[in-house]
Amino acid sequence: MGAADIVPGVSGGTVALVLGIYDRLIHSVRLGAHGLRQLITGDRTGFVTTLKEIEWVWLVSLLAGILAAVATLSAILERLLDEQPIRMGALFFGLVVGTIWVAYRMLERVDARTVGVMLGVGVALFLLLGLRSDTVVADDAVEVVTRSPVIFFAVAAVAICAMILPGISGSFLLVMMGMYTEVLGAVNDRDVVSLLAFMLGAVVGLALFSTLLNWSLENFHDLVLAGMIGLMIGSMRVLWPWPGGTNTTTLAAPADDVLVPVLIAAAGCAVVVAVDLIGKRFVSVEPVGDPVPAR
């Protein structure tokens, strides 16, 4: 999940969906949000009870893996994306195609509404991503803080949603909102006020959105899942290998280096499908949206 969040157009939520841990992740985040609300309102007994319900070993292991991937793989992935943009774009394109197939099979019923939501969300995101021709910040961009802490709070509350939604990464949302260099500037300048506002916004956004998403999955499972599939379909604009891989949202017909990227994309898709089939054969996984019992 950590490696996926480094790449524009791919999110940790996509990986969680493929591996069959999406419902567990949403449930754990929702419990954390519920516990935070209990702590703020002074319900200490309820807070302690909620803490006991959270799968701490599993959650901490997951977070540790995400942080380890970001720390160890970010430099490698960034170098590959820079040196082999078309082939890396093809790899992630294939991975997302496979994920769409996996998610589609999770739908309990396919009707006009689910197809409409799927296509509507997909087209909307496809057009939204086209508002920027590039997905990365220029090397000579100035990393300084010019926005108020209120903006940092609001931006973080929106960007953190990418952590638990398939289809788009938090870093790309920051680029889209023109806040990527602002956040880097706050980190480099050790702007404590801006960073605290950003972290607080992330906590509030994640708490509110996870609660809403958990409720939506329980009550409108197929429509929400169709929306997630639409997000992944729309995000494929960023992942289309030609002309410049994930560095641009501009689209072009395959040219020059074609055969190898196509084979790489097919291999990526096959890996995702294989992981899904193996998981269904050897691991018992609850459907997305079903409540996970406390352990």
pLDDT band, very low/low/confident/very high, at 137 (cuts 50, 70, 90): low
The residue among 186, 194, 183 whose CA lies nearest residue 149 is 194
- Span 86-109, pLDDT tens digits: 998 898 889 888 888 888 888 888
* Residue predicted with more confidence, 162 or 250: 250
23, 47, 182 from 293: Cα distances, Å: 11, 17, 41
Spans of all domains in the chain: 2-282
Which of 19, 25, 30, 219 is CA-nearest to residue 103? 19
Q: What is the mean pLDDT of residues 158-186?
A: 74
Residues contacting 221, CB < 8 A, separation 6+: 108, 287, 288, 289
Rounded CA-CA distance 7/135 in Å is 10
Q: How confident is the model at residue 260 (pLDDT cuts 50, 70, 90)?
A: very high
Cα(20)–Cα(27) distance, rounded to whole angstroms? Answer: 13
pLDDT score of 287 more than 70? no
Distance CA 212, CA 198 (A): 21
pLDDT at 169: 67
User: In this model, does residue 243 exceed pLDDT 90?
Assistant: no
CA 9 to chain centre: 8
- Is the confidence at residue 261, as pLDDT, over 90? yes
Average pLDDT over residues 78-86: 81
Distance CA 142, CA 181 (A): 7
Q: What is the pLDDT of residues 103-129, one digit of tens each?
A: 888 888 889 999 999 999 999 988 988
CB 197 within 8 A of CB 152: yes
Higher pLDDT, 272 or 116: 116
Buried b (16+ CB within 10 A) or exposed e, 96-121: bbbbbebbeebbeeeeeebeebbeeb
Residue 8, pLDDT > 70, answer no
| Residue 49 confidence (pLDDT) above 80 | yes
Mean pLDDT of 36-49: 85
For residue 142, pLDDT over 90 is answered with no
The whole-number average pLDDT for the span 240-267 is 88
Strand partners for 134: 248
Residue 31 and residue 54 in contact, taking contact as beta carbons nearer than 8 Å: yes
